[in-house]
């Protein structure tokens, strides 16, 4: 129990902070923050698997998050029949061509010896394939995008349940990680960081500009939800009864019947949004707990020990017969898949997919700050990092505003510096997060909850 | 005549813009490469440091304009360069003293330093946004064009116009001067030689009596000069917006790696490789072919290899290709 005391203390502080937000701001805001904290925790766990277990630096979190989000659109949105009929066939042929290209190149790589001829052959396969793709897809894309462009203009998805898309998001991200890993994992650590950062940028720019796929920057709104809709709740009698019972003491004081009805309506509207958020919280909590159990089991299994050995001394581990390359690739895929799941969860929570909002600052660097601050190699630390940094990120502006008002209270309201500072309050979040990262790296380089090695 | 028109067309829409953009990238890439070669880490605060220097130039330009000081036909921002560089170097040395030097003395792995630079990036971005805000600012004054399309048409009688903006000439010109001075410094002076020695083999350099503190300080000073001038030239040519500067970090990194990271010549060259690739691959060649081909063969599509949306993606794809086939860059860089 004693060894867990600091974990419990840190988590209690976090929970108290969120409860304080609930009391002083509103419960709806507190739950929104909590949901995002849970999503961030999943992302952080993914990054922690790569960095904490294996020492792989992945600055491409943004790309995997976006792919997870794309999976939600491709799986849960109802298919657009008209678009499929005008362009679906050509797009299917294009997929066939890509698959054929891959197999042809693999075949050439296997059968022909390494020579200049082989390089030319591969280059010509790629060029011919690309030209063919362009030739076949261009008219199809044009006709797909012209199908009711204000509402659809894309192929749509498969119309399957949205929860299934979380798994698919993980698979998509894992697939991308396989390709990226094959290309980049041999690089030295900081090269890997730059390469993954840039590859993520490519992925996002493809999602942004291929409008036939997921409407690109035109966004997809009104995605399916695994939770009930507020409107349905507000009209269902069981929910109204529930709210009435819950607030019965408050309602009894009001005498006038019509007034009581008004108050009740207000309460039902508030409660419905909280209820929906609670449903999401439950789902996210479930994901976090499942992942936590799995990652804890993995960390303390022989496999986890092997990963730590590889992380701490690659040469020694490979001398002992461990396949370093293979293990690195595996862990890169696993971590990215977890990030992909988080991306899908986030889009589901928002109910909309906005490729334009994927920026490296928010989706890569902040997540990395979470990993470093929370504690590398410690799953509880990773979750705590997700919670605390996200909380700071959201609440930095109110905190900054409070201090600005405090420090400039002697200045008149029209003072230019004061107005300028108050207007720039939102940017203090960068300052707080940056200073937080620098301080933690300097004075507690292994994070708030450092890695624990249990000696057996 | 048609051939000449085609050449002018290419010159106007691809070659001159690419040279300009390439010069701006090259300055940034040399900055990245110097830090990487001598201080041994990938500096993720690159874009924001450039933005920081430019911010002072923008603010001072506004101040000078309010005082009525101008530089004639040249932009006022050129006058502010020394002050901006001074502030930039001051900022860099402060950051180095309070943040980076601790990890350098401890000989931390480069990854840790890179992560620290992410922290510096956050802080720098915050300072910039708090001081000047995130909005788009133009601070170019003076003569905007050296040659206007209509003037050129009258002069030569060609149907295709050539526009040369003063910022384009300025960028290429200033870059060449700055880079030649820097290469002269690195190759011919004693301090420059000691810097290269330190970059090649730290221990041997220390043994032969090179003062590491001095090398580090000179590196930051050169880096400050390059970052500020690169940032100001980019801001004059396009406009100043903190977010764009952060994003520019990515092609700059690509340029540095493509050229061979740790190798300043490579970085200089890499900047142009990236710029030319971006612009040549996204340019629509329809009008070009309309000039050089007979009328019957005139193309009816845009003949654009990739849409301009993929501008950034091109530089990154080049990077991936280079990493795959020649991981040390086109010019031999540091061993990775």
Looking at residue A337, its pLDDT comes to 96
Q: Are A166 and A326 in contact (CB under 8 A)?
A: no
Identify the CA nearest to B254 among candidates B42, B111, B38: B42
User: By the CB < 8 Å criterion, does A199 face chain B?
Assistant: yes
Q: Residue B335 falls within a domain, yes or no?
A: no
Kindly state the helix (H) or strand (E) to which residue B164 belongs, with its residue range.
strand B164-165
Contact assessment for residue B4 and residue B231, using Cβ atoms and an 8 Å cutoff: no
Split at pLDDT 50, 70, 90, the class of B181 is very high
- Does the pLDDT of residue A261 top 70, yes or no? yes
pLDDT of A456 strictly over 70: no
- Let me know if B73 is exposed, middle or buried by CB neighbors in 10 A (0-12, 13-18, 19+): exposed
pLDDT tens-digit map of B94-144: 999 999 999 998 988 888 899 999 999 999 999 999 999 888 888 888 778
pLDDT class for B336, splitting at 50, 70, 90?
A: very low
- pLDDT for res A453: 67
- Please name the residues in contact with B216: beta carbons below 8 A apart, sequence gap of 6 or more: B38, B39, B96, B101, B104
Any A CB within 8 A of B185 CB: no
Distance between alpha carbon B332 and the CA centroid of its chain, in Å?
Answer: 21
Report the percentage of chain A scoring pLDDT > 90. Answer: 33
User: Does A216 or A366 have the greater pLDDT score?
Assistant: A366
Gap from A15 CA to chain B (nearest CA, Å): 26
Q: CA Rg, chain B, in Å?
A: 21
Which of B110, B130, B327 has its CB closest to that of A187? Answer: B327
For A99-127, what is the mean pLDDT?
Answer: 85
Neighbours of B292 (CB within 10 A): 14
When pLDDT is cut at 50, 70 and 90, the band that residue A238 belongs to is confident
Range A150-167 average pLDDT: 84
Confidence of residue A369 (pLDDT cuts 50, 70, 90): very high
- State how far the Cα of A247 lies from the Cα of A261, in Å rounded to an integer: 13
Q: Please give the C-alpha separations between residue A259 and each of A245, A251, A262, B87, B111, in angstroms, as whole numbers.
A: 17, 10, 5, 65, 64
Contacts of residues B111-116 at CB distance under 8 Å and 24 or more positions apart, as own/partner, are B111/A57, B111/A189, B111/A190, B111/A193, B112/A441, B112/A445, B113/B39, B113/B40, B113/B41, B114/A57, B114/A189, B114/A190, B114/A193, B114/B41, B114/B42, B114/B43, B114/B44, B115/A368, B115/A372, B115/A437, B115/A441, B116/A438, B116/A441
Inter-chain CB proximity B123 and A424 less than 8 Å: no
Q: Does the pLDDT at position B309 exceed 80? A: no
Stretch 95-134 of chain B: residues touching chain A, C-beta under 8 Å: 99, 102, 109-112, 114-116, 118-127, 129-130, 133-134
Q: What is the mean pLDDT of chain A?
A: 87
Residue B220 pLDDT greater than 90, yes or no: yes
Q: What percent of chain B has pLDDT over 90?
A: 42
Q: Look at residue A455 and tell me whether its pLDDT is greater than 60.
A: no
Looking at residue B230, what is its pLDDT?
Answer: 93
* Backbone φ and ψ of B138, nearest 5°: -110, 135
Tell me if B122 and A188 make a contact (CB, 8 A cut-off). no
Note whether B185 and B33 are within 8 A (CB). no
Are A427 and B246 an interchain contact pair (Cβ–Cβ within 8 Å)? Answer: no
Give the helix ranges, DSSP H, for A210-362: 211-214, 230-235, 237-246, 248-253, 257-299, 302-312, 314-319, 324-350, 360
Task: Report CB contact under 8 Å: A365, B118.
Answer: yes
Cβ distance A369 to B123 less than 8 Å, yes or no, reads no
Asked if B254 lies within 8 A of A195 by C-beta distance, the reply is no
Instruction: Return the pLDDT at A451.
Output: 81
Establish if A187 touches chain B: CB-CB under 8 angstroms.
Answer: yes
Q: Residues of B with CB below 8 A from A201's CB?
A: 250, 312-313, 316
Structural domain containing residue B79: 2-325
Are B130 and A431 within 8 A, CB to CB?
yes
Q: Do B309 and A209 touch (CB under 8 A)?
A: yes
Let me know if residue B332 belongs to a domain.
no
Name the minimum distance, in Å, from the CA of A237 to any CA of chain B.
49
pLDDT at residue B335 greater than cutoff 70: no
**Distances in whole angstroms, Cα of residue B212 to Cα of each of A2, A197, B19, B91, B104:** 47, 32, 36, 20, 11
Check if the beta carbon of residue A317 is closer than 8 Å to that of residue A303.
Answer: no
Q: Which residues, listed in sequence order, are joined to residue B71 by a DSSP beta bridge?
A: B74
One DSSP character per residue, B105-140 reads: HTT--HHHHHHHHHHHHHHHHHHHHHHH-SS-B---
Tokens of A36: 């995002």
Residue B267 lies in a domain: yes
**Per-residue pLDDT reduced to its tens digit, B243-278:** 899 988 889 998 998 888 888 888 999 999 999 998
CATH number at residue B158: 1.10.3470
- A385 pLDDT higher than 80: yes
Note whether B316 contacts A201, CB cutoff 8 Å.
Answer: yes
Helix (H) or strand (E) holding B165: strand B164-165
Helix (H, G, I), strand (E, B) or coil at B147: strand
Q: How far is A96 from chain B (nearest CA, A)?
A: 22
Is B331 part of any domain?
no
Does A228 have pLDDT greater than 90? Answer: no
Q: Which of A190, A195, A433 sits opposite B111 (nearest CB)?
A: A190
- Of residues B227 and B157, which shows the higher confidence score? B227
Report d(CA B316, CA B255) in Å as an integer: 9
The CA–CA distances, whole Å, from A81 to A61, A148, A221, A291 equal 34, 12, 18, 37
Confidence band for B332, pLDDT divided at 50, 70 and 90: low
A33, two tokens: 């923050």
For residue B182, the model assigns a pLDDT of: 92
Alpha-carbon distance A149 to A140, whole Å? 14
DSSP codes of every residue in A397-421: HHHHHHHHHHHTTTS-TT-HHHHHH
Among B288, B280, B287, B286, residue whose Cα is nearest residue B306? B280
ipTM of the complex: 0.89
Q: What is the DSSP letter of B334?
A: S
Angstrom distance (rounded) from CA A117 to CA A121: 6
pLDDT, one tens digit per residue, over A298-347 is 988 999 889 888 888 888 888 988 889 999 999 999 999 999 999 999 99
| Residue B334 counted as domain residue | no
DSSP 8-state assignment for residue A80: -
Q: Which two tokens stand for residue A359?
A: 């920026």
Please name the member of B44, B116, B324 whose beta carbon is closest to the beta carbon of A441.
B116
Interacting residues of A67 by C-beta distance below 8 A, sequence separation 6+: A169, A172, A173, A176, A203, A207, A340, A343
Number of domains in chain B: 1
pLDDT at B228: 94
- Which range, of A2-6, A242-246, A359-363, B247-251, averages the lowest pLDDT? A2-6
Q: Cβ of B323 under 8 Å from any chain A Cβ?
A: yes
Q: What count of CB pairs under 8 Å joins A to B?
A: 126
* Average pLDDT estimate for B27-38: 92
Are A57 and B111 in contact (CB < 8 Å)? yes
- Any B CB within 8 A of A434 CB: yes
Q: What is the CATH number of domain A2-79+156-443?
A: 1.10.3470
Q: Closest CB to A199: pick one of B112, B310, B320.
A: B320
Nearest one of A350, A130, A50 to A225, comparing CA atoms: A350
In the predicted structure, residue B281 carries a pLDDT above the cut 70: yes
pLDDT exceeds cutoff 70 at A163:
yes
Q: Please give the backbone phi and psi of residue B96, each rounded to the nearest 5 degrees, phi first.
A: -60, -45
B326: contact with A, CB 8 A cutoff: no
The total of other beta-carbon atoms located within 10 Å of residue A183's CB is: 16
CB distance from B319 to chain A under 8 Å? yes
The sign of the dihedral angle between the CA atoms of A184, B22, B115, A433 is negative
Please indicate if any CB of chain A lies within 8 Å of the CB of B158.
no
Could you tell me the residue ranges of all domains in chain A? 2-79+156-443, 80-155
Q: What is chain A's Cα-based Rg?
A: 26
Q: Is residue B57 part of a domain?
A: yes
Inter-chain residue contact A198 with B250, CB threshold 8 Å: yes
State whether A435 and B123 contact (CB < 8 Å).
yes
CB within 8 Å of B60: residues ≥ 6 apart: B80, B83, B84
Please give the share of chain A, as a percent, with pLDDT higher than 70: 98
Q: What was the pLDDT predicted at B302? A: 67
- The answer to whether A325 touches A185, Cβ cutoff 8 Å, is yes
Cα A425 to the chain's mean position, in Å? 26
Mean pLDDT of the residues in chain B? 87
**What's the rounded Cα separation, in Å, for the pair B114 and A9?**
31
Residue B9 distance to chain A (closest CA, Å): 26
A43-57, A257-271, A275-289, A350-364: least confident range: A257-271
C-alpha B234/C-alpha B24 separation (Å) is: 6
- How does residue B235 score in pLDDT terms, banded at 50, 70 and 90? very high
User: What chain A residue is nearest to B116 in terms of C-alpha separation?
Assistant: A438
| pLDDT 10s digits, A9-48 | 989 999 999 999 888 888 888 999 999 999 999 999 999 9
Q: Are A114 and A105 in contact (CB under 8 A)?
A: no
Helix (H) or strand (E) holding B145, with range, is: strand B145-147
Greatest extent of chain A over all pairs of C-alpha atoms, in Å: 92
Task: Please report where in the chains the tokens 């419960």 appear, as a residue.
Answer: A27
Q: Distance (Å, rounded) from C-alpha A161 to C-alpha A168?
A: 11
Q: Does A232 touch chain B (CB under 8 A)?
A: no
What was the pLDDT predicted at A407? Answer: 86
Residue B261: closest C-alpha in chain A: A191
A13 touches chain B (CB under 8 A): no
Q: Please list every residue in chain A whose beta carbon sits closer than 8 Å to the beta carbon of residue B112.
A: 441, 445
Determine whether A376 is exposed, middle or buried from the number of CB atoms within 10 Å of its CB (0-12, 13-18, 19+): buried
* pLDDT tens digit sequence for A77-91: 888 888 888 888 888
Higher pLDDT, A272 or B331: A272
Q: Which two tokens stand for residue A167?
A: 């798994």
Of the spans A56-60, A173-177, A230-234, B164-168, which averages the highest pLDDT?
A173-177
pTM of the complete model: 0.90
Q: What is the mean pLDDT of residues B61-70?
A: 88
């Amino acid at each position: 129990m004693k060894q867990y005391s600091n974990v419990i203390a840190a988590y209690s502080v976090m929970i108290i902070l969120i409860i304080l937000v609930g009391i002083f701001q509103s419960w709806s805001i507190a739950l929104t923050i909590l949901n995002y904290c849970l999503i961030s925790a999943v992302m952080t766990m993914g990054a922690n698997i790569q960095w904490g277990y294996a020492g792989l630096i992945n600055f491409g979190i943004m790309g995997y998050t976006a792919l997870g989000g794309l999976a939600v659109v491709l799986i849960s949105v109802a298919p657009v029949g008209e678009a499929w009929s005008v362009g679906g066939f050509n797009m299917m042929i294009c997929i066939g061509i890509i698959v054929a290209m891959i197999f042809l190149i693999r075949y050439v790589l296997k059968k022909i010896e390494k020579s200049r001829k082989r390089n030319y052959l591969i280059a010509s396969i790629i060029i011919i394939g690309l030209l063919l793709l362009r030739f076949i897809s261009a008219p199809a894309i044009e006709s797909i995008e012209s199908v009711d462009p204000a509402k659809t203009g894309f192929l749509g998805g498969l119309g399957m349940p949205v929860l299934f898309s979380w798994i698919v998001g993980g698979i998509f991200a894992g697939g991308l990680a396989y390709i990226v890993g094959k290309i980049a994992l041999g690089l030295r650590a900081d090269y890997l960081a730059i390469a993954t950062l840039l590859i993520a940028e490519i992925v996002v720019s493809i999602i942004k500009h291929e409008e036939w796929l997921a409407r690109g920057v035109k966004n997809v709104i009104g995605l399916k939800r695994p939770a009930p809709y507020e409107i349905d709740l507000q009209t269902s009698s069981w929910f109204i009864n529930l709210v009435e019972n819950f607030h019965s003491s408050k309602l009894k004081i009001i005498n006038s019947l019509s007034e009581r009805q008004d108050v009740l309506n207000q309460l039902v509207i508030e409660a419905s949004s909280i209820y929906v958020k609670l449903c999401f919280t439950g789902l996210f909590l479930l994901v976090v707990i499942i992942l936590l159990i799995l990652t804890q089991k993995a960390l303390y299994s022989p496999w986890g020990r092997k990963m730590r050995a590889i992380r701490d001394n690659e040469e020694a581990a490979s001398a002992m017969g461990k396949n370093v390359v293979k293990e690195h690739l595996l862990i890169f895929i696993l971590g990215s898949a977890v990030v992909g799941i988080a991306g899908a969860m986030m889009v589901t929570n928002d109910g909309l997919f906005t490729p334009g909002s994927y920026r490296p600052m928010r989706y890569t660097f902040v997540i990395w700050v979470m990993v470093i601050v929370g504690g590398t190699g410690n799953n509880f630390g990773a979750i705590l990092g997700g919670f605390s940094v996200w909380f700071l990120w959201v609440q930095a502006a109110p905190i900054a505003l409070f201090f600005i008002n405090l420090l400039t209270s002697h200045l008149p309201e029209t003072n230019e510096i004061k107005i300028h500072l108050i207007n720039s309050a939102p940017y203090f979040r960068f300052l707080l997060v940056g200073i937080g990262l620098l301080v933690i790296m300097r004075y507690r380089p292994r994070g708030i909850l450092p890695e624990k090695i249990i000696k057996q | 005549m048609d051939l000449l028109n085609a050449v002018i067309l290419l010159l106007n829409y691809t070659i001159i813009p690419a040279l300009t953009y390439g010069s701006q990238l090259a300055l940034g890439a040399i900055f990245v490469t110097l830090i990487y070669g001598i201080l041994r880490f990938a500096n993720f605060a690159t874009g924001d440091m450039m933005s920081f220097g430019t911010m002072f130039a923008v603010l001072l330009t506004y101040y000078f304009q309010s005082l009525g000081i101008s530089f004639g036909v040249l932009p006022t921002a050129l006058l502010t360069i020394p002050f901006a560089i001074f502030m930039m170097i001051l900022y860099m040395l402060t950051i180095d003293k309070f943040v980076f030097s601790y990890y350098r003395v401890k000989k931390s792995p480069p990854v840790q330093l890179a992560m620290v630079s992410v922290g510096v990036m956050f802080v720098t971005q915050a300072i910039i946004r708090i001081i000047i805000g995130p909005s788009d600012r133009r601070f170019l004054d003076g003569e905007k064009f050296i040659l206007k399309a209509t003037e050129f048409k009258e002069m030569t009688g060609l149907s295709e116009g050539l526009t040369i903006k003063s910022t384009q000439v300025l960028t290429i010109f200033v870059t060449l001067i700055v880079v030649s001075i820097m290469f002269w410094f690195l190759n011919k002076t004693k301090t420059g030689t000691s810097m290269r020695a330190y970059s090649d083999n730290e221990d041997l350099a220390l043994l032969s009596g090179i003062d590491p503190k001095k090398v580090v300080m000179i590196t930051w000073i050169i880096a400050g000069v390059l970052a500020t001038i690169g940032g100001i030239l980019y801001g004059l040519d396009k406009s100043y917006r903190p977010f764009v500067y952060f994003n520019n970090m990515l092609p700059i990194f690509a340029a540095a790696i493509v050229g061979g990271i740790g190798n300043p010549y490579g970085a200089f060259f890499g900047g142009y490789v990236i710029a030319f690739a971006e612009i040549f691959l996204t340019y629509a060649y329809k009008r070009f072919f309309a000039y050089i081909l007979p009328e019957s063969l005139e193309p009816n599509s845009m003949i654009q290899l990739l849409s301009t949306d993929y501008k950034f993606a091109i530089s990154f794809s080049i990077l991936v290709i280079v990493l795959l086939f020649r991981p040390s860059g086109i010019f031999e860089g540091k061993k990775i």
